[in-house]
A = this chain, B = another copy of it.
Amino acid sequence: MTQIVKKRTAGGARTLDGRFVTSREIFQREKFKIFATHWLCAGRVSELERPGRLFTVQLVDSNLLVVADGDEIRCFHNVCRHRGSLLVHEDSECGRIGSRIQCPYHAWTYSRSDELVAAPNMEEGSFDFSEHGLKPVACRVALGFVWVRLGQSGVDFDDFFRPLIAQVEPWSLDDLMVVRRIEYVVRANWKLLFQNYSECYHCPGVHPALNRLTPFLGSSNELSEGPILGGPMRLADDCQSMSADGCAVGKFLPGLDRQQLRSVVYYTVFPSTFISLHPDYVLIHRIQPVSERETKVSCEFLFSTESIHSNTFDPGPAVTFWDQTNLQDWQVCELTQQGMSADGYEPGPYSGLESIVAAFDRYYLSQI
């Protein structure tokens, strides 16, 4: 195996101040400056194919309803315009009648294109239905995902996603299907998860199994500045993909070139998503901050229809491998949260292998 040893530098950058992972005030500021202005991954378009054709998602302080309206996908605040009840909640079938969305409290009913269509017992004289439609949230589709922007203004969708879409085109994410989802609660600030994902300097010690499949010095960076960061890691000569035994678990994705078939490519999409592109599947991490000290993570495994329909298909070795790797990462993220919260912490220096972490910090600080 040939190792790529590319000279990288973090340019003398140091880690963030401790208050960035402990301060409630900074977390509040992040809501306005970061989570309201960027496009957040709300879920997979294919989730809209099930009965009801809608799903809900909590993103920071917003509870959202993503609905299919014919071929259109729309996003609304999941909040009734009458008394403010959540319209659709996880544990029940209420909230839907046929194609409409009905509030479980007083049965106000909305169409899928936001109009209030029924509100029993409201005086029709003074009450204007057109003023009480669902409140829309900006919503776009790319790579088979629904992306939402909570605030009225912020980054431009097309400008933002153009470089990513070009990079990941060969994996045809639109066509892949979720076959497994694992949810985690990590007691660490969301930024520590991004920083952890952004370097493999920790791989030899924290992930011995992973490091055998993709030796940590075999990485290079394609996107090394800005909100989307990352690049490939070369697979070891005797490995086909990331799995318990290094064998592929799905069929190789047809659009990949020779180099892509011998690599795993990792991207972070600020501030909500990690995309890990394998020769035979794609792994997605959706990062949902709960507080300055706690983060939910939803981890999904996407395979091609061809893989899924194969008689011998078993994603287990990939799922097991990444579940173990995730848990190893969450542990060091939690230890870092604890250490950065302690009195003895002060910012430390990044190594050249952490150049992407430093780039993440730079982009973060430019936004906050």
Indicate the member of A84, A195, A345 with the most B CB atoms within 10 Å. Answer: A84
Q: Which of B202, B204, B348 contacts A84 (CB 8 A)?
A: B348
List residues of A (163-196) whose CB comes within 8 Å of B's CBs: 195
Indicate the member of A79, A123, A132, A352 with the most B CB atoms within 10 Å. Answer: A79
Contact A78–B344 (Cβ < 8 Å): yes
Residues of B within 8 A of A195 (CB): 83
A241 to chain B, nearest CB (A): 26
A62 CB within 8 Å of chain B: yes
Residues of A in contact (CB 8 Å), total 61
Oligomer: number of copies: 3
Residues of B within 8 A of A84 (CB): 15, 18, 336, 339-340, 345, 348
Contact A150–B336 (Cβ < 8 Å): no
Contact A78–B342 (Cβ < 8 Å): yes
Interface class of chain A by DSSP: loop
Closest to A108 in B: B348
Residues of B within 8 A of A76 (CB): 344
Q: Which of B60, B105, B343 contacts A205 (CB 8 A)?
A: B105
Residues of B within 8 A of A80 (CB): 339, 348
Q: Which of B81, B87, B123, B340 contacts A351 (CB 8 A)?
A: B123
A85 CB within 8 Å of chain B: yes
A278 CB within 8 Å of chain B: no
A77 CB within 8 Å of chain B: yes
Interface of A toward B, CB cutoff 8 Å: 9, 12, 15, 18, 60-64, 76-87, 89, 104-107, 119-123, 126-127, 132, 135, 137, 150, 195, 201-202, 204-206, 331-332, 335-336, 338-346, 348-349, 351-353
